[in-house]
Structure 1
Amino acid sequence: MNTIDDLCDRLKGYLPAEEIQQVRRAYFYAEQAHDGQKRSSGEHYVTHPLAVATILANLHMDHQALIAALLHDVIEDTGISKEAVARQFGEAVAELVDGVSKLTQIKFESKAEAQAENFRKMVLAMAEDIRVIIVKLADRLHNMRTLGALRRDKKRRIARETLDIYAPIANRLGINTLRLELEDLSFQAIYPMRYERLRKAVQQVRGNRKEVIKKIQQRLQERLEQDGLKGRVMGREKNLLSLYRKMKHQKKSFSDIMDVYAFRILTETVDDCYRALGTVHNTYKPVPGRFKDYVAIPKANGYQSLHTTLFGLSGMPIEVQIRTREMEAMANNGVAAHWLYKAGQTDRPIAEGSHARARQWVKGLLEMQQRAGDSLEFIEHVKVDLFPDEIYVFTPRGDIMEMPKGSTPVDFAYTVHTDIGNACVACRIDRKLAPLSAKLQSGQTVEIITAPGARPNLAWLSFVTTARARSAIRHYIKQQQKTESEALGRRLLDKALAQFDVRLEQLPEERLKPLLQEMEVTSLPELLEAIGLGKRMAYVVARRLLDDVEGASQTSQDEGSMIIHGTEGMVVSFARCCRPIPGDSILGHISFGSGIVVHRDTCRNLADIRDNPDKCVSLRWADQTVGDFGVNLKLEIEHQRGIIARIATLVTEMDANLERISVDERDARLSTLTLEVQVQNRVHLARVMKKLRLIPEVSRVVRLR
């Protein structure tokens, strides 16, 4: 078991004596605070914070993070306040301890909601200080190491949460040592039998292959020395979970997966990395298309290395990773290396770069958190962001952008800037126009074409990949619906008030206040939005406003029909049952949560409610209505080669869009054709129908009602 003396001995390697003394003082403070408390295993509670601090010491974290690790449970589990911690150890440590404490469980409707809310709080804490999450990861790692004392179902739940959230975060921050152990322990807790069988199989194979590995390792080492390169060749172990996932997803047997020999070469400089690559390619033939250069273009988490696959003896594959010692430290410690180099007082831009990337990622998470409707929606976005398999594309200026695999030009536009994504209308990939739903490939140059007044399309949600794009589109559409429903609500309330010869602007504010309280809304815009979405009835609100207003006499209810322009957006939709178009007599049905649904006034679906002012509103078309409106036409035709193509061509020539066509054969000679056509108004429809009737094979054309 580790003791505080063991920890302090370890810290002597990289921390000054006065900082080590502060860490020792924090341990005794924690020991006193947790006096009498025990863990599930029966050990004294203070063994847990000490173990967490030891994990962070292995990452060479600074003394403030170590003190926070020792005290991370004192605010939550003992009577000690944040202010008391600040007085003893400083404001920075108190903020760190408070940040980690805020991530504890609170009561929720469901476990999923609790997990999501905890993750949302974690992002807020990370935004303040990224060390919060590093302490939390170390805390989770020690909890995973000591799962043995818990019930089977609780073990599986904690392990599943670790695999879903904590291991991917460790990966995203580049802390590989923590990620590998978290994954290994989670796999062991979720599938103990599979883990054990795989572990034994790997041990057996390792013993059988020892001679072959040694032979390859010696040959590579000799070739490096012959070329005058300082480099060390090591065998590389495969992670059990990644082995299991490969077997499962690639549907390969254990022997197929383990038939690959993996090595790592550590060099002194970046130049040596590329020279070592030439050496290994001269020793064994490279496999085409399997070379990846993460040195020139690092991964999103700061990982840098050259990857290549070679044909070894008898054609067996050899995987080789080549990196500098500095890159090796970055691959293992990731963002934690920032504090390691800071403590050594050396200027290491590689560590600074990783820290900056991590800060940028957390900033992006914070933006998503602010836009998301609730914690569950937020975690849905983030899970996508936590499992990226990157591609690298170029902006027209030649800047490199890293994107998750499967990204589209819309994802690219939102990665550049939210405003560019919102105004995106088209794109060019490698200078050629391409659809916005195209899947991007590494090395492509992407140019986004924007237009003033353009806005996101709801259909984009079906193909975008990145969490940032999905969250921004949903946020914009929610805001758009809010604005449009508020404007519609104002029009509906004005129309209802007009029946009493009153305008909304004429009503004093004191009259509105009691109504807002009664309707349980905080402001007039919120009330208007509820009216626009059909959650409140404009007529009822108008009557309530004017209950005791002198001179408010009701005029004819049909006076002043509301005008429909066709540009109202999401809060005014057109019924599919009767397909109204400009020129038809129309009536509006106020639908709860959807605004107004426009029907033709002869529509049978409105028969029971047409006289109910709470459910229906009188409408008329504006003189200049904008847009295309769908109608269904039924044609009776004689069979003739190419007749359907002629009908489709004629519809297009008449400036109408043919949306859908279906054929129902009546007999060997006659068929019924149903067309869905987009037209501007009744006059336009009449012209289309007249032209269709002139085709000799068309015996009848009618509009379906």
Structure 2
Amino acid sequence: MTRQFELIEKVKAYNPGSDEGLLSAAYVFGMRSHAGQFRKSGEEYWVHPVAVADILTGLRLDDATIVTALLHDTVEDTGATLIELRELFGDEVAELVDGVTKLTKLQLSSTETEQAENLRKLFFAMSRDVRVLLVKLADRLHNMRTIGAMRPHKQEQKARETMEIYAPLAGRMGMQKMREELEDLSFTVLDPESREDIIARREELRARTGDVIEAITGDIKDLLAAEGIDARVYGREKRPFSIWRKMQQKGEPFSRLSDIYGFRIITRSDMDCYRALGAVHRKWRAVPTRFKDYISQPKDNGYRSIHTTVSGRDARRVEVQIRTEEMHEVAETGIAAHWAYKNGAPTENRFVADPFRWLRDLSESFETAENPDEFLEHVKLEMFQDQVFCFTPKGKVIKLPRGATPIDFAYAIHTRIGDSCVGAKIDNVRKPLWTVLQNGQTVEVIRAEAQRPQPVWEQMTVTGRARAAIRRALRSERRAKHVRMGEAILRQLFERLGRDWSSRTLDFAAQKFGCADAEDLQARIGAAELSAVQVAAALWPDVETDEMQSPAPEGDGIKGLDAARHAHEGHCCLPVPGDRIIGIAEPGKGVTVHAIDCPMLAHYEEEPERWIDLRWENDGARPRQTALSLIFAHERGALARVCTVISDEFSDIIGLEFTERRPDFYRARVDVEVRDLKHLNRIVTRLAAEPVVTEVRRILPARESALVAGAQSWSDPSPRGFAQAARAGGGGDEGRGGDIRGDAAPEGGAAKGDPAAGDAPGAGA
């Protein structure tokens, strides 16, 4: 354990102006407070706070942070109080200790809802003073170094929490050295066999090849000396978890990894960085696609460096990182460099990122997230993903997570631009909105003011900002629709009852049902959370219920709905007119229409009160979406032929996704709009007759095979009984299997087997 005078000497080595009396008083106070307490390992508890302070001296932090480390457990684990700390050590230390104490109480490995709420508290504490996080990270690091004394299940819980929360947080704050150690310590607990295997393979490689690091380091030093470049050079083996992660990402065995070794060149200036890069590339062949210039395009956390991979000595691939001393300090310690001291004064490091900018960006998700899971998703997306750099047509750099699309790009510029995005040009070529962006591309967003975000966009984005904006817009649009529908339902009922429509009446009704205002009342009615009959009964108790009933609304194309509900087709089965359908009442969403054989209906078997027997009316009144699976030849014009056939049948393609690409064929999902089952069957038949098409089938997730007509009968005549029969294979005369293969297909069905029979492939597959 570091003794009192040793700790003070370490602090005064980088901060000669340090308050020795303050440090001594904190050391003595903490030691006395924790007297008689022991850790799980049996050692004195005081060892832990001193170790945390020792870690932070390595980051050259200020006196207040070191004192906080020494006292960070006193309020929680001893009889000390915040009032006492404030009197003895001042307001700054007391506030920091209070912040760390609150973080210690957070259970970040709890259920997702609790975890999200606790993460909110974590980020709030960070936003007040990021030094709270630095102390907490040092606290977690020492606990992970000594985790062996804990029970196995507790070790796994802490290791997983560290891997999922604290290590990514350290990385997001630019503290790469701490992140790597936290990850590797967690890896030791979570997957010790894989770690030991990697270490053994590394030892075998070292025995076979000798000291590669020393040899290559010598080569680089000689090379730089010949160029007259003054620089430090050192190499290292990458940590086991870093190697394991690359094996998982690349899907390659250990023997094929090229970057087990890493070398760093630390120069005196930016110019020397590029001179060193030129010297390395002249000496050894650079590996294409393995070059990144984070000096000209820094990461959000302040990281700057040049990365290149070359084929070095004995044709062995090695990664070389080139940076200045200032860049290196930030790369190792991140935002901690903001508080670092040299010669008694804070370091003026121009590369330290603003630690609060990311927190300000995250604050948007606090306000826009509809539920805790959304916020948790947003935070994890922001913490885990690496970056790509793209340009606007005017040359502005937009930083995005890897895997981002033009929609992410549009929302990164401004929410209004994202909401109105209809297309994009990438490097002056029109590309689909789902295209994954690459480093250095120029992206031009094509807009239309009438455009609104589409539900499918959420699956095409990777940034929390874009997803939050899309969800917010969809919620707003959905609410507006509910308000309009609720108003229409109420007006219709008021007219039938001969009552006056007035804002005063609506406000009174809203108050009775606990709604914020009349608009909120109408939204709840439109969303089927509240019925107009309930409102009328509350306003006029003397009116008979029968008088309030109304016929089903016209124009939705579905029979069986009352006036207070609206319907929408389920995305799980995409029913079209001609399919036997069932409605499930969804609070806040109206009624979801499912095909009789939809597997989702099994989830509602125990809730018969939510089942509604529905029928189509006005078949073909408006187009409905459904999906086809196609396998077609990989040859010129094949896709154009498929699109032409669908267009000739007066159907629109509203989605196209290639699910498999092979040298001789493509497999694709095509979302189309059809009027009814007969219309769909004509499209299927035409496509199956095309020579370029090998297989065509309707995507019905319910079964892998066709429904069998005339299957066993069921005693339950209710909608649930029909659904059970359909899922078991007996669709009956109105089942999905009977209609699409029989009379609904006057052309004789698909030419290459039965494309519409469940998910069974065509004969030519």
When residues 377 and 543 of structure 1 are mapped into structure 2, their CA distance, relative to the original with a 3 A threshold, is: same
Alignment-derived partner of residue 683 in structure 1? none
* 1:406-555 correspondence runs (5 A): 406-503=403-500, 505=502, 507=504, 511-512=508-509, 515-516=512-513, 524-547=518-541
Instruction: Tell me, yes or no, if the aligned pair for 2:567 and 2:593 is still in contact at 8 Å.
Output: yes
Tell me, in whole angstroms, the C-alpha distance in 1 between the residues paired with 2:510 and 2:551.
28
Following TM superposition, by how much is the alpha carbon of 1:477 offset from its aligned partner in structure 2, in angstroms? 2.0
Counterparts of residues 555-566 of structure 1 (less than 5 Å): none
Partner of 1:690: none
Q: 1:631: Cα distance to partner?
A: 9.9
Q: Give the counterpart letter for 2:590 in structure 1.
A: G
Q: Runs of 5+ in structure 2 lacking a partner? A: 558-564, 595-608, 627-640, 655-671, 675-679, 690-695, 700-745, 749-765
1:315-464 to 2 correspondences below 5 Å: 315-340=315-340, 344-351=345-352, 354=353, 356=354, 358-464=355-461
Corresponding residue for residue 687 of structure 1: none
- 2:246 match: 246
Equivalent residue for 2:174? Answer: 174
Q: What amino acid sits opposite 1:542 in the alignment?
A: A
Q: TM-score scaled to structure 2, two decimals?
A: 0.72
Aligned to 2:599: none
Structure 2 CA distance for partners of 1:338 and 1:207, relative to 1, 3 Å: farther
Separation in 2, partners of 1:653, 1:241: 52
Aligned positions of 1:10-21 closer than 5 A: 10-21=10-21
* Counterpart AA for 1:184: D
Note closer, same or farther for the CA distance 1:190–1:395 as it changes in structure 2 (3 Å cut): same
1:279 partner letter: A
SS in 2 for 1:12: helix
State the identity as a percent. 37
The answer for the alignment partner of 1:595 in structure 2 is 590
In the superposition, relative to structure 1, how do residues 572 and 212 fare at CA in structure 2: closer, same or farther (>3 Å)? closer
Using the TM superposition, give the Cα deviation of residue 179 of structure 1 relative to its aligned residue in structure 2, in angstroms.
Answer: 0.9
SS of the aligned residue for 1:433 comes to strand
Q: Distance in 1 between matches of 2:165 and 2:410?
A: 27
**Are the equivalent residues in 2 in contact too, given 1:501–1:555 (CA < 8 A)?**
no
1:445 Cα deviation after fit: 0.8
Matched letter for residue 377 of structure 1:
E
Map 1:91-170 to 2 at 5 A: 91-105=91-105, 111-170=111-170
Deviating more after overlay: 522-531 vs 494-503: 522-531
One-letter amino acid of the structure 1 residue matched with residue 539 of structure 2: L
Matched-pair contact (CA < 8 Å) for 1:266–1:322: yes
Contact between 1:423 and 1:452, CA under 8 Å: does it hold in 2? yes
**Residue 292 to residue 508, structure 1, CA distance change in 2 (3 Å):** closer
Alignment of 1:77-96 (within 5 A): 77-78=77-78, 80-96=80-96
Q: List per-residue Cα deviations over 1:244-292 (Å, max 9, x = no partner).
A: 2233443444344378553222211111111112222232233333322
In structure 1, give the amino acid aligned to 2:127: A
The alpha carbon displacement at 1:30 in A equals 3.1
Find the aligned partners of 2:249 and 2:688 in 1 and give their Cα distance. 50
User: What's the counterpart of residue 663 of structure 1?
Assistant: 685
Note if contact 1:427-1:433 (Cα within 8 Å) is conserved in structure 2.
yes
2:350 maps to amino acid: P
* Offset of residue 381 of structure 1: 2.5
Question: Judging changes above 3 Å, is the alpha-carbon distance between structure 1 residues 100 and 261 closer, same or farther for their aligned structure 2 residues?
Answer: closer
- Note the C-alpha offset of 1:320: 1.9
Deviations 1:357-402 (A, max 9, x none): x422222222123322333332222222222232210012201122
User: Greater CA deviation, 386-395 or 44-53?
Assistant: 44-53
Measured at CA, do residues 571 and 78 of structure 1 come closer, stay the same or move farther in structure 2, by a change above 3 Å? farther
Distance 1:592 1:101, change over 3 A: same
> CA deviation digits over 1:533-554, x for unaligned, max 9?
2122210221122126xxx799
Distance 2:105 2:248 in 1: 33
Counterpart Cα distance in 1 of 2:593 and 2:148 = 63
Residues 578-657 of structure 1 correspond to what in structure 2 (within 5 A)? 579=577, 592-595=587-590, 629-630=623-624, 652=650
Secondary structure of 1:159's counterpart equals helix
Question: TM-score normalised to the size of structure 1?
Answer: 0.78
Question: Residue 445 of structure 2 aligns to a residue in which SS?
Answer: strand
Quickly say closer, same or farther: Cα 1:95–1:523, change in 2 above 3 A: farther
- Residue 188 (structure 1) aligns with: 188
Give the SS at the match of 2:160: helix
Count how many residue pairs are aligned between Structure 1 and Structure 2.
627
Contact 1:430 1:446 in 2 (8 A): yes
Instruction: Return the alpha-carbon distance in structure 1 between the equivalents of residues 267 and 178 of structure 2.
Output: 24
**Alignment-mate amino acid for residue 537 of structure 1:** S
Distance 1:647 1:201 in 2: 57
CA offset at residue 345 of structure 1?
Answer: 4.2
Q: 2-side partners of 1:295 and 1:578: how far apart?
A: 56
Tell me how far apart the structure 2 counterparts of residues 523 and 43 of structure 1 sit (CA, whole Å): 62
Give the 3-state SS of the residue equivalent to 2:684 in structure 1. strand
Counterpart AA for 1:499:
R
Q: Match of 2:103, SS?
A: coil
Match of 1:703 in 2: none
After superposition, the Cα gap between the structure-2 partners of 1:94 and 1:647, relative to the gap in structure 1 and judged at 3 Å, is: same
Residues 473, 506 of structure 1: CA spacing in aligned structure 2 closer, same or farther, 3 A cutoff? closer
**Equivalent residue number for residue 281 of structure 2:** 281
CA–CA separation in structure 2 for the residues paired with 1:698 and 1:177 = 69
Consecutive unaligned residues of structure 1, counting only runs of 5 or more, are 581-587, 600-611, 622-626, 633-642, 668-672, 677-696, 700-705
Matched-pair contact (CA < 8 Å) for 2:341–2:347: yes
Does the 8 Å CA contact 1:499/1:555 hold for their aligned counterparts?
no
Deviation at 1:650, TM superposition (A): 5.5
Measured against aligned partners, the alpha-carbon deviations of 1:87-123 in whole angstroms (never above 9, x if no partner) come to 4434433333333222244689954444333322212
Deviates more, 1:407-416 or 1:83-92: 83-92
Deviates more, 1:425-434 or 1:438-447: 425-434
Conserved? CA contact 2:144–2:182, under 8 Å: yes
**What is the rounded CA distance, in whole Å, between the counterparts of 2:325 and 2:107 in structure 1?**
46
Give CA deviations for 1:176-206 in whole Å, capped at 9, x if unaligned.
2211211121111122343334334434544
What residue is the counterpart of 2:660 in the other structure? Answer: none
For the residues of structure 1 that align with 2:567 and 2:398, how far apart are their CA atoms?
40
Structure 1 contact 516–522 (Cα < 8 Å) conserved: no
| Aligned CA distance change for structure 1 residues 406 and 597 (closer, same or farther; 3 Å) | closer
Structure 1 residues 86 and 484, CA gap change in structure 2 (3 angstroms): farther
Go from structure 1 to structure 2 and tell me whether the alpha carbon gap of 1:644 and 1:171 turns closer, same or farther (over 3 Å shift). Answer: closer
Kept in 2: contact 1:579–1:631 (CA 8 A): no
Structure 1 residues 43, 505: closer, same or farther in 2, change over 3 A? farther
Alpha carbons of structure 1 residues 501 and 201: separation in structure 2 relative to 1, 3 Å: same
Aligned position for 1:294: 294
Do 2:646 and 2:653's aligned partners in 1 also have CA atoms closer than 8 Å? no
Residue 303 of structure 1 deviates from its aligned partner by 1.8
Shift of 1:24: 3.0
CA-CA distance at 1:468 after TM superposition:
1.9
Q: Quick one: distance in 2 between partners of 1:645 and 1:215? A: 60
**Structure 2 contact 421–451 (Cα < 8 Å) conserved:** yes
